[in-house]
Structure 1
């Protein structure tokens, strides 16, 4: 297995997939980046057997642009101009990393690609090519970052071990870094246990997450997380929601009870101060987790849960080349890198749970990103 990591700086990225949803760039946009990478590798560089099998996204920071562009008026109707109902087109900038789990079945192509990624001059040329081809939710992409303190720059690199990738990212960003993980299995479980719709379950889980973090801010004293970081470095059936359609077809997720648990280790998890309303990850700090991680009586710690657009659903049969679609919502979890590292070092969950894959269900006209573990 090989993991190609592409750290990048982005600007003017769309954080409003449509008029009804505002949030971080959708996972379908990230899937588009992985697909574009495969296309460039196959058609532009000649690696015809290159295949992107799965992808992961890590945010280092994301900040909403102060100025928001305005939509132009729509076409005139009956002699008068029509203005769209919602004018705000929200955009953001920041730094992130795309990690693609890939395979090259041809041995000669595989050896050539690995040699190319081992030479700085060729890596620079490849970065220049990808920078002109990759887009992050419509925004501009610049390959490479300067690291959290500007003294540990990150460029494209390839590893055979996912744990080694996480370690390098933690070295460059010791107090920043949030991996976006699929939690649609928890959304399904919560809806089934409560006998409610997935929309109600989504709201309940997000509200519980926010309440728990607010309680920890007030009750737990802030402590330095360097000792925790050191320890981490040294130890080596998903109902979906679309607008107007709450119940969507589900597939068995195939995860064990242990790997799908919301809180598998009370000593360390993603207890982060993450203001997702302002999209500000720079202010994110890690806190020590007290032994009793239940901030509400009987409620396990659920982590930083957020709604996210993960795909789209065709709402009617295509009319020629026209497709009418609605965004599909689901639940994701923003996880700090030390927690991801412990998943691997303590076998709390398989590495596949940190990755996504893109799938198309033609019988349901549904396109979505789901956990690679499914």
Structure 2
């Protein structure tokens, strides 16, 4: 099994580059996570681990140590650039010692991502395949590359970085290039089992179905696709795995996420994914979202606290991004705007004020 380490740069207090109301840490996390999911849906024969799956601060040393200790075969560090508001374009870096493996990966990945970008804007400059002495390239013991995905402080680049279709395309290009480099086997979608072209269940409903679980209880230390699938399902439902990510190994972090899920699902809480837990993860148990910190009062401008943070997180989980301030626990104009967009999509009164009707819709 090949091991792919995906490193969304920055995170937590380290925003990375900023500009045009965007923060690098948010954009690269989106790209990295979508890259991981794309690989899982389209290829077999690999494990994936992310340096972070949420807005967490992880040191450079911790990132490279984790990848080295895990025995990763390839390390992809994802970034976005900034300079003076005038520079734009795409570039990639490998270590300046020019190791053969990294050189081959860069030769595949750089044009593949750039060509995808050019399909959205033919004027994007190619800033070249470069080398540098960056920590994540120098201290990793495997093939490593760093991508700089446009300039966040350039208006045209920033507009692209706010386009969900563009982000998905860039994430897919990262994934395809790594799959090509490692020679991963595409998932066979011609088996007549109702999968769509991405290997997803296409049986006419939106229910999730486990493809790799054989019905046995998963225990500590178990490894494989069935564990990875549980981990991915947990992360998709908002139960983050910040230390080890989706690595196909069942340990204490995954068990803790299972416990949190079991508690929210109202089933037995033991941290062990058996039949009842798998059934709940597939949607057999009512998993309507429940606000834990809201007391029923209308939230207004300037309000702060856990109830606001919970509201913001729910909006972000549903795809209503907060690119400027993020989940900061303060109700301001950005959060109100996200509430308005949700209200409009939900077909309820649009006023940007999260009262009982809005909380009820968010909980559904």
Tell me if both proteins adopt one fold, taking TM over 0.5 as the criterion.
no
Higher share of residues assigned strand: 1
Higher share of residues assigned helix: 2
TM-score (norm. length: structure 1): 0.28
Q: Which has the higher contact order (CA 8 A, sep 6+)?
A: 1
